[in-house]
Chain A
Amino acid sequence: GENVEQHPSTLSVQEGDSAVIKCTYSDSASNYFPWYKQELGKRPQLIIDIRSNVGEKKDQRIAVTLNKTAKHFSLHITETQPEDSAVYFCAALTDDGSSNTGKLIFGQGTTLQVKP
């Protein structure tokens, strides 16, 4: 089946440093790639997404890059703050053609710790 690999599984940075999380996907037809942030004890929430017709998207301190040829995409957080500490999930939209809606295939998650 389709697969999304996410690395690293844990990441610890000092406040103010940058953090990068990388994902690779297997379905070359995937065209939508969201990133979710899940704070401790809370629900996952969408923080940024990118579609296959663009290579980069930025929203304040977070950015996502996409390389369709290599089938990988990355989340970049600059000037990290303690409130960025959370679990981050990448996902890729895949469509097996048998239903009217696509499925999101999630990566395994990255636990980011930002040390003050």
Chain B
Amino acid sequence: DVKVTQSSRYLVKRTGEKVFLECVQDMDHENMFWYRQDPGLGLRLIYFSYDVKMKEKGDIPEGYSVSREKKERFSLILESASTNQTSMYLCASSPGQETQYFGPGTRLLVL
């Protein structure tokens, strides 16, 4: 079974704080993704990575950065959290271009 884990299920941060969201997968997948999920907007891609140290911007990268130092770990960084970044954050991994396996999600509240 593919296992994708995220470091926190719930997180509360203050405006301006630097926030780190961690994602780990145990299936040696090449590709990893970060999405945010908001009601009525579906899943929107923030960043993705197809190899160690490689990253590509998704559809809404502003205000975010990522890091992939090891194949199994993909981190999402909010440099200076803002209230409009309150959301559910989902990480996913895939072995190729198709099926993606999701983590449980991190619900982030920025006050």
A82 within 8 A of B: no
CB distance from B2 to the nearest CB of A (A): 11
1/0 contact string of A34-67 vs chain B (CB within 8 Å):
1010000011111001000000000000000000
- A103: contacting residue among B41, B42, B45, B96, CB under 8 A: B45
A1-B59, A32-B98, A101-B31 known; A109-B103 Cβ under 8 A: no
Give the chain B neighbours of A11 by CB distance below 8 A.
Answer: none
Q: Are B43 and A43 in contact (CB under 8 A)?
A: no
Is A108 part of the contact surface with B, judged by Cβ < 8 Å?
yes
Q: Cβ of A102: which chain B residues have Cβ within 8 Å of it?
A: 97
Closest to B98 in A: A32
The distance in angstroms between the C-alpha atoms of A34 and B98, with both chains bound, is 8
Number of A residues near B (Cβ < 8 Å) is 28
- Whether B90 pairs with A46 at a CB distance below 8 angstroms is no
A106 in the interface, Cβ–Cβ < 8 Å? yes
Chain B residue at minimal CB-CB distance from A90: B42
A51-106 interface with B by 8 A CB criterion: 89, 93, 95, 98-106
B44, B45, B94, B102: the one within 8 Å of A43 (CB): B102
Which of B44, B56, B90, B94 makes the CB contact (< 8 A) with A44?
A: B90
Assess the A106–B50 pair: CB atoms within 8 A: no
Q: How far is the CB of A96 from chain B (nearest CB, A)?
A: 9
Contact A45 to B31, CB < 8 A, known contacts A99-B50, A101-B97, A108-B42? no
Contact among A1, A100, A107 for B50, CB-based, below 8 A: A100
B74 is an interface residue with CB less than 8 A from chain A: no
Chain B residues in the interface with A (C-beta under 8 A): 4, 30-31, 35, 40-45, 48, 50-51, 56, 58-59, 90, 94, 96-105
Question: A43-B4, A101-B50, A106-B35 provided; 5 other pairs, C-beta below 8 A?
Answer: A43-B105, A98-B56, A99-B56, A103-B48, A108-B40
